[in-house]
Amino acid sequence: MSDCCSATDAASVTTTINCPACGSRGASVELCAVKALLVESALARPERLSHRFCRTVDCQVVYYDESGRTYLRDDVRARAWHKEPAGNRTICYCFGESETAIRDELCRTGSSSAVARVKAHINAGRCACDVRNPRGVCCLGDLIMAVERVGKEALLERHAP
């Protein structure tokens, strides 16, 4: 007797690790994150296969599954910051921390508390990165790097002739 909730037989699928469009290796992402972020028309397509997230900026593919089925930028509700030009990208999808907000805070106060704010939310159990972040993982590492990058950019702008 078959189980309707069991995963597809791995032997029947050719595993795709690299993005079918750009060839870069994608990061594993849970199906629940993919389903949570797909628009209604795209939500009818996922199979119970492993999915990956393509980080390549110039690639239109956001997600793909092990059979090579792809989901493009327009298939996803939230803009994946990895796919957007620097400047106004949302980095933390749970608490709305963006490059613009970080830059504004740095200009106003000389520092950013974005990382501390998000850490406080994580410690309080409010983080939902597993379903809100298009990568399906915690954004804290990305946020730390964004604060450092935006801080350096702001410093360069202040000292530019």
Q: pLDDT tens digit string along 6-50?
A: 333 333 345 679 999 999 999 999 999 999 999 999 999 989 999
Contacts of residue 60, defined as CB under 8 A and 6 or more positions apart, other chains included, come to 21, 72, 73
Q: Give 38's DSSP letter.
A: B
Q: Domain-by-domain residue ranges, the chain?
A: 10-75, 81-158
Rounded to an integer, the average pLDDT of 148-156 is: 88
What percentage of the chain exceeds 90 in pLDDT?
78
122-138 pLDDT per residue, tens: 999 999 999 999 999 99
Q: Kindly report which listed range (52-61, 83-92, 133-142, 148-157) carries the lowest average pLDDT score.
A: 148-157
Contacts of residue 92, defined as CB under 8 A and 6 or more positions apart, other chains included, come to 98, 114, 118, 139, 143
Q: Give 143's DSSP letter.
A: H
**pLDDT score at 3:** 32
- Whole-number mean pLDDT of the chain? 88
CATH class for the region spanning 10-75: mainly beta
Maximal CA-CA distance, the chain:
74
What does the radius of gyration of the chain's CA atoms come to, in whole angstroms? 18
Rounded to an integer, the average pLDDT of 125-153 is: 94
Q: How many residues in the chain?
A: 161
Distance CA 60, CA 9 (A): 29
Compare 3 and 155 and report the one with higher pLDDT: 155
Structure tokens at 25: 């290796």
